[in-house]
Amino acid sequence: MNNKTTLRHDWQRDQIEALFELPFNDLLFKAQSVHRQYFDPNTVQISTLLSIKTGGCPEDCAYCSQSAHYKVELEREKLLPLDQVLSEAQKARANGATRFCMGAAWRSPPGRDFPQVLEMVEQVKALGMETCMTLGMLDDEQAGLLGDAGLDYYNHNLDTSPDFYGDIITTRTYDDRLDTLGRVRDAGIKLCCGGIVGLGESRQDRAGLLQQLANLPEHPESVPINMLVKVEGTPLSNVASIDALEFVRTIAVARILMPESMVRLSAGRTEMSDETQALCFFAGANSIFYGEHLLTTDNPAANHDQLLFSSLGIEPMSL
């Protein structure tokens, strides 16, 4: 693919806001044009996400059902045994997933459980799948050990803009998140880093989030864009929903700013119509989570995704 867009890491906020302000058709045409320079427009990567340790997290993220600060209908669970994780990974592979993502509700991984986490990485990789973990904040040693175990991706989202962040989370700072991203990079692990829209943030905040991601020293290889899933009992359970076309705009701007990255439709797809998802794929999304659950929230049934892909002429991406 020739004449590729030059990768930039110096985006100004007003430049990103100007992209959001483009007429919808112009924005999508620009995003699709960039997308075709780097990817087959009719293939989408399939990932599966498993909660390996659920609930009881000491963080106070206002959107999260797993926070110990809020009263939600969620049973706390200990770290899953290795054989159960491997069984789920084998099912995901049989259903077409090429990446297996494992998430634990921790502020940072406890030492007693870390050896088992490392073994999960090694054993899932032995199945021939890419591995991704999200375990909270990491220190240098933990990042190094995950890298030595062969972890492909580490997920650690920035969630929102630096300006709006304090309205959503108080138990860790924006710099805490950036520090973990730096440690992951230093350990030779690829980044899965994105955010959540529909938290009550402004368009300027959405631009601010994407600015932070695009101006990292290296763009995250995977950029999940989540639509808030409202959970009863959390502070954001009654926040106004984001407009579907504004969500599509966010996908399109992410594609333009980070041309080489996989842009993933993550949480919130159960609230999206097929038409909204189709527009997201046209805007440059080329990765989804496949399976009926995302950690603790619902996800479209696998057969529905298969029907949607068939109607759009989309094929699953292979390793």
Catalytic residue numbers read 57, 61, 64, 101, 132, 192, 264
Which ranges of 166-273 would DSSP assign to H, the alpha helix?
Answer: 174-186, 203-214, 244-257
Q: Which two tokens stand for residue 215?
A: 């101006």
Residue 38: strand, helix, or coil:
helix
Give the closest residue to 251 by CA, choosing from 30, 1, 10, 61: 30
Count of positions (residues) in the chain? 319
The residues near 243 (Cβ < 8 Å, ≥ 6 apart) are none
Contact (CB, 8 A) for 210 and 220: no
Query: What Cα–Cα distance (Å) separates residue 176 from each residue in 97, 162, 201, 215?
Result: 31, 12, 21, 17
Which ranges of 217-284 would DSSP assign to H, the alpha helix?
Answer: 244-257, 274-282
Query: What Cα–Cα distance (Å) separates residue 70 from each residue in 51, 149, 268, 295?
Result: 19, 35, 20, 17
Residue 121: strand, helix, or coil:
helix
Phi–psi pair at 21, nearest 5 degrees = -85, -10
Secondary structure E strands in the chain = 43-53, 99-104, 130-134, 153-155, 190-192, 195-197, 222-227, 262-265, 287-289, 293-294, 297-298, 315-316
